[in-house]
A and B are shown apart, each in its own frame.
Chain A
């Protein structure tokens, strides 16, 4: 009986050399999510590119902002084996006995003496100031308390994963979506990836904040079946305050995209305390009316996923950014958009 080609397969991967074709273009990817159902039609695989020029207060993918690899640390998964301490060249990892735990552990001394490091009351401290993100500790960590976020991948490697679900795309009308971070932050890679997907006959979509050069966006036009285009805030001052970038170029790109005949859906994050204002909702509706041929809009009510991820990045917020709206609020916004003649799909 054959037991699979594990070793062989790895050997083959090692032999694969860059040969200058687009499939060997590389990009910084922080996640590839198969069976994505809400980033365009059908069953999709969404590729998340790392790096984003915006700094939205409510960002739900904070690990996608910085354009280089980062170390994610989830202390509650740590089993205290000390493997990271052993491999870290900078001494960034250390273990501290927690005072409050010390007393509680008195009764468990026997267990600790029996050589159970994980049950010892230790606190794993990561000194991020010392960390150079060299990537040594993550593979050594057996419990995935430490993980490296952001991996340089070739178009070929990404497509190798994407194409595993080809049959599902065909049957469901799905395909590839590039998200982020901001795909326009890695325009060459995004173009190559979309080109590769097109060559395979896949439906292609891109999720973008629209913050990028028009030439880069224009290059994506012939390769992209659907643009999912964020409109985060319609008031220029607030836009700059909430996201760190000006609004005008983004709206400019949006108008040019629509004028060029692109298939566009608006993505409308609604964040209580930020943009859940009647004037914003009305402005979005007016904007939509001014864009002929717009496919529609998706309402994205705020959720708190990003808060947990900030913890993993070592950037805890001292207070909640916002709170998820309740269903009634979402329905009310929907009704506002509908009243203004905008056909809105909502996650709620």
Chain B
């Protein structure tokens, strides 16, 4: 068995070296040189040649102990090659920059190849198909698109042959043979299949793409794995070792790389298999933050898979996030995706939904819902007929208008990247159905158009704010609308008793209180329907997302004080989660609250963060408890959950700023208690005990 751990150590050292000042990225210069040489040819061919040039020039690098070839080290250098002056280098880099390329919004990264097909037919299969199509699709634009794809595939194939030669030269006969074979032929073994995926992923990275995904790796590698096991070519331990090496490759690349396991097969049966478990084990072993593991669940997911997921989650790494097939699949079917394709979806980036290898690249942008509420509150102030219903109406009309404006802006933006000037030959070649249609992925080549996620910011903040206004202003009449507006304008300076009432005397999302949970549910429903009314120019859907990443912080900087008692310019609630610190009735109440919205139209994905004290989940009893929470997640049709296990750092934060940590439950002794409700001494006791490694 080889030692992926020593490779990981070398990878970290190499990445540190690459990040040091003075290191040069040679790729833009190589690309610009290729562009100069191919001036006058159609753009797809020019860009394909630029892509191939990088792969030709790359100074191939191996780590000692590599069981998979491939590294990004060789396209960086500490000094320019002898024939390239600094001035010339700079000129080339500028030339490439001027040519420009797609960006995230225009459909560039956060995507993946059609891996099942690539493994089935190999690069050679694609080339054969493309060359045959070239004979029948004779329109100039079709010819250009196809030739671009062929050049890219040929360049990719040549790259793999270079790796074969280099491996042979280093005496790594097995890696040489693998690369030699898969340079054109479809892989025959698990090891070959994994190597082809690794090379493809690396080639995408060579183009400068970020957050590329691997898709349903436990599905498309399974036939290879089972054949190898049946033939006695591989043991589970050897397969695990190779997966660990793959995870180390991903650690070299860095960023957010999504890997999807479990879920349903295209036919609707349980897809969980031996490899799903090996992927979990690799994640648990390698403990890398870059393998963003997504586990799909459904009603018939085996109990063992729950347990295996939990064994990774309890390490505190935060993976896997868990996803609900019974929410996303109906949502995809509802917009017209065939059920078999919908069942085969994966995640890209953090949690976003993708029809792997069949769709234009996904993107998203931030939409500040809390800001719309505050605009509506301003607008209705002073009206004679002011009521909660009037405020609701104004809020919805603000949202309707601003969502329409958002979609117009997005369409105007992507119009700056017309497909003829910004073709994407390599990704097109590996995306169904670009070769058959003889079109670029962004020119109608992909089987399905893109989705753009409108990431709605501040669900919890807005739900709590509306509940507080209704409860305290319109129902209890504790203070008037104008007084509230004055307090908000003053950021509660001079209105602390009112702020306390807003915080304490109105229901808060996340506590299983129907009054406010129903508002959150209505918001999710309304906004996800409203987004779907809009269409992307050139095809595709605007869909709601409730995944803030950390954008709830900048979004909060745009919004003054809100009626939930939140102070001006502080962060909004995160993603689809309740506002932090306001859920004080424990995880079951929290989960019941977030179970109430119907997320199936939030097609780009939603994120609900749950924080836990690790000590709750020790031993068999801990596992039983955690599994019960996961099962409630599946049964209650929540879309996504992810888990944070808190450490002492969080506890110290909680001591400094108790109001933001009112939901933090810690185990004090044989029982548990809200941390901020403990006396200072007890808090210190808890921290001290945990610092000794004792929960």
Contact yes or no, A37 B685, CB < 8 A: no
- Please measure, in the bound complex, the distance between the C-alpha atom of A348 and the C-alpha atom of B686, giving whole angstroms: 11
Contact yes or no, A1 B396, CB < 8 A: yes
- Please measure, in the bound complex, the distance between the C-alpha atom of A118 and the C-alpha atom of B497, giving whole angstroms: 8
- Please measure, in the bound complex, the distance between the C-alpha atom of A5 and the C-alpha atom of B516, giving whole angstroms: 9
Is B470 part of the contact surface with A, judged by Cβ < 8 Å?
A: yes
Q: Name the prevailing secondary structure of the B interface residues.
A: helix
- Please measure, in the bound complex, the distance between the C-alpha atom of A6 and the C-alpha atom of B467, giving whole angstroms: 9
Given A34-B589, A143-B497, residue A3 in contact with residue B685 (CB < 8 A): no
Q: Chain A residues with Cβ under 8 A from B498's Cβ?
A: 142
Contact yes or no, A33 B586, CB < 8 A: yes
Q: Chain B residues with Cβ under 8 A from A6's Cβ?
A: 467, 470-471, 475, 514-515, 518
Given A9-B515, A142-B504, A304-B682, residue A43 in contact with residue B689 (CB < 8 A): no
- Please measure, in the bound complex, the distance between the C-alpha atom of A304 and the C-alpha atom of B624, giving whole angstroms: 29
Q: Chain B residues with Cβ under 8 A from A115's Cβ?
A: 494
Smallest CB gap from B629: residue in A: A168
Q: Chain A residues with Cβ under 8 A from B475's Cβ?
A: 6-7
Q: Chain A residues with Cβ under 8 A from B689's Cβ?
A: 327
Given A4-B515, A6-B470, A6-B515, residue A116 in contact with residue B672 (CB < 8 A): no
Contact yes or no, B516 A4, CB < 8 A: yes
- Please measure, in the bound complex, the distance between the C-alpha atom of A348 and the C-alpha atom of B685, giving whole angstroms: 13
Contact yes or no, B628 A303, CB < 8 A: no
Q: Mark A301-339, 1 if CB is under 8 A from B, else 0.
A: 101110110010000000000001001000000000000
Is B525 part of the contact surface with A, judged by Cβ < 8 Å?
A: yes
Is A201 part of the contact surface with B, judged by Cβ < 8 Å?
A: no
How many residues of B are counted as interface, with CB atoms below 8 angstroms from the partner's CB atoms? Answer: 61
- Please measure, in the bound complex, the distance between the C-alpha atom of A164 and the C-alpha atom of B525, giving whole angstroms: 23
Given A1-B525, A118-B497, residue A142 in contact with residue B505 (CB < 8 A): yes
Among the listed A114, A143, A171, A300, which residue makes an inter-chain contact with B628, where contact means beta carbons less than 8 Å apart?
A: A171
- Please measure, in the bound complex, the distance between the C-alpha atom of A1 and the C-alpha atom of B523, giving whole angstroms: 9
Smallest CB gap from A179: residue in B: B671
Among the listed A9, A35, A348, which residue makes an inter-chain contact with B694, where contact means beta carbons less than 8 Å apart?
A: A348
- Given A5-B515, A35-B586, A114-B494, 10 new contacts (CB under 8 A): A5-B518, A9-B514, A34-B588, A34-B589, A37-B616, A43-B628, A119-B496, A142-B497, A164-B592, A304-B682
Contact yes or no, A308 B497, CB < 8 A: no
Q: Chain A residues with Cβ under 8 A from B667's Cβ?
A: 38, 347
Among the listed B505, B512, B517, B589, which residue makes an inter-chain contact with A4, where contact means beta carbons less than 8 Å apart?
A: B517
Q: Chain B residues with Cβ under 8 A from A346's Cβ?
A: 670
Contact yes or no, A116 B670, CB < 8 A: no
Among the listed A1, A172, A347, which residue makes an inter-chain contact with B625, where contact means beta carbons less than 8 Å apart?
A: A172
Q: Mark B277-309, 1 if CB is under 8 A from A, else 0.
A: 000000000000000000000000000000000
Is A39 part of the contact surface with B, judged by Cβ < 8 Å?
A: yes
Contact yes or no, B681 A304, CB < 8 A: yes
Q: Chain B residues with Cβ under 8 A from A38's Cβ?
A: 667, 670-672
Distance in angstroms from B586 CB to nearest chain A CB is 4
Q: Mark B665-695, 1 if CB is under 8 A from A, else 0.
A: 1011111110000110110010001001010
Q: Chain A residues with Cβ under 8 A from B629's Cβ?
A: 168
Q: Chain A residues with Cβ under 8 A from B505's Cβ?
A: 142
- Please measure, in the bound complex, the distance between the C-alpha atom of A348 and the C-alpha atom of B694, giving whole angstroms: 7
Q: Mark B628-640, 1 if CB is under 8 A from A, else 0.
A: 1101100110000
Q: Chain B residues with Cβ under 8 A from A299's Cβ?
A: 670
- Please measure, in the bound complex, the distance between the C-alpha atom of A303 and the C-alpha atom of B670, giving whole angstroms: 9
Contact yes or no, A37 B621, CB < 8 A: yes
Q: Chain A residues with Cβ under 8 A from B517's Cβ?
A: 4
Distance in angstroms from B471 CB to nearest chain A CB is 7
Among the listed B471, B526, B628, which residue makes an inter-chain contact with A172, where contact means beta carbons less than 8 Å apart?
A: B628
- Please measure, in the bound complex, the distance between the C-alpha atom of A324 and the C-alpha atom of B669, giving whole angstroms: 10
Is A343 part of the contact surface with B, judged by Cβ < 8 Å?
A: no
Distance in angstroms from A38 CB to nearest chain B CB is 5
- Please measure, in the bound complex, the distance between the C-alpha atom of A327 and the C-alpha atom of B669, giving whole angstroms: 11
Interface size, A (range): 35 or more
Is B397 part of the contact surface with A, judged by Cβ < 8 Å?
A: no
Contact yes or no, B678 A37, CB < 8 A: no
Contact yes or no, A168 B588, CB < 8 A: yes
- Give the top 10 A-B pairs by smallest Cβ distance, nearest first: A4-B518, A347-B670, A35-B586, A81-B497, A308-B679, A171-B628, A172-B628, A142-B501, A142-B500, A6-B515
Is B568 part of the contact surface with A, judged by Cβ < 8 Å?
A: no
Chain A contacts to B: CB under 8 angstroms: 1-7, 9, 33-39, 41-43, 79, 81, 83, 114-119, 142-144, 164-165, 167-168, 171-174, 298-301, 303-305, 307-308, 311, 324, 327, 346-348
Q: Chain A residues with Cβ under 8 A from B581's Cβ?
A: none
Is B522 part of the contact surface with A, judged by Cβ < 8 Å?
A: yes
Given A142-B501, A164-B589, residue A305 in contact with residue B682 (CB < 8 A): yes
Q: Chain B residues with Cβ under 8 A from A300's Cβ?
A: 669-670
Is B646 part of the contact surface with A, judged by Cβ < 8 Å?
A: no
Is B202 part of the contact surface with A, judged by Cβ < 8 Å?
A: no
Contact yes or no, A4 B497, CB < 8 A: no
Distance in angstroms from A90 CB to nearest chain B CB is 22
Given A6-B515, A7-B475, A303-B669, residue A171 in contact with residue B679 (CB < 8 A): no
Is B315 part of the contact surface with A, judged by Cβ < 8 Å?
A: no
Given A4-B519, A37-B616, A79-B497, residue A171 in contact with residue B670 (CB < 8 A): no
Q: Chain A residues with Cβ under 8 A from B635's Cβ?
A: 167
- Please measure, in the bound complex, the distance between the C-alpha atom of A172 and the C-alpha atom of B165, giving whole angstroms: 57
Contact yes or no, B669 A347, CB < 8 A: yes
Chain B 367-414 residues near chain A, CB threshold 8 A: 388, 392, 396
Q: Mark B513-533, 1 if CB is under 8 A from A, else 0.
A: 011111101100110000000
Distance in angstroms from A24 CB to nearest chain B CB is 23
Q: Chain A residues with Cβ under 8 A from B518's Cβ?
A: 2-6
- Please measure, in the bound complex, the distance between the C-alpha atom of A117 and the C-alpha atom of B625, giving whole angstroms: 47
Contact yes or no, A303 B522, CB < 8 A: no
Q: Chain A residues with Cβ under 8 A from B678's Cβ?
A: 305, 308
Smallest CB gap from A144: residue in B: B504
- Please measure, in the bound complex, the distance between the C-alpha atom of A174 and the C-alpha atom of B681, giving whole angstroms: 32
Contact yes or no, A37 B672, CB < 8 A: yes
Distance in angstroms from A30 CB to nearest chain B CB is 14
Q: Chain B residues with Cβ under 8 A from A2's Cβ?
A: 518, 522
Contact yes or no, A324 B685, CB < 8 A: yes
Distance in angstroms from A168 CB to nearest chain B CB is 5
Q: Chain A residues with Cβ under 8 A from B496's Cβ?
A: 79, 81, 116, 118-119
Q: Chain B residues with Cβ under 8 A from A83's Cβ?
A: 497
Chain B 440-499 residues near chain A, CB threshold 8 A: 466-467, 470-471, 475, 493-494, 496-498
Smallest CB gap from A172: residue in B: B628
Q: Chain A residues with Cβ under 8 A from B504's Cβ?
A: 142-144
Is B585 part of the contact surface with A, judged by Cβ < 8 Å?
A: yes
Given A116-B493, A118-B496, A165-B588, residue A303 in contact with residue B668 (CB < 8 A): yes
Q: 7 A-B contacts, Cβ less than 8 Å apart?
A: A34-B585, A34-B588, A165-B592, A172-B625, A174-B628, A303-B668, A324-B685
Distance in angstroms from A114 CB to nearest chain B CB is 6
Q: Chain B residues with Cβ under 8 A from A4's Cβ?
A: 514-519, 521-522
Q: Chain A residues with Cβ under 8 A from B671's Cβ?
A: 36, 38-39, 347
Contact yes or no, B587 A303, CB < 8 A: no
Chain B 628-659 residues near chain A, CB threshold 8 A: 628-629, 631-632, 635-636
Distance in angstroms from B464 CB to nearest chain A CB is 13
Question: B470, B588, B629: which has the most chain A beta carbons within 10 Å?
Answer: B588
Q: Chain A residues with Cβ under 8 A from B660's Cβ?
A: none
Q: Chain A residues with Cβ under 8 A from B493's Cβ?
A: 116
Given A5-B514, A114-B494, A327-B694, residue A171 in contact with residue B669 (CB < 8 A): no
Q: Chain B residues with Cβ under 8 A from A301's Cβ?
A: 669-670
Smallest CB gap from B587: residue in A: A35
Contact yes or no, A303 B624, CB < 8 A: no
Is B18 part of the contact surface with A, judged by Cβ < 8 Å?
A: no
Q: Chain B residues with Cβ under 8 A from A143's Cβ?
A: 497, 500, 504
- Please measure, in the bound complex, the distance between the C-alpha atom of A276 and the C-alpha atom of B14, giving whole angstroms: 57
Q: Chain A residues with Cβ under 8 A from B519's Cβ?
A: 3-4
Q: Mark B607-627, 1 if CB is under 8 A from A, else 0.
A: 000000000100001001101
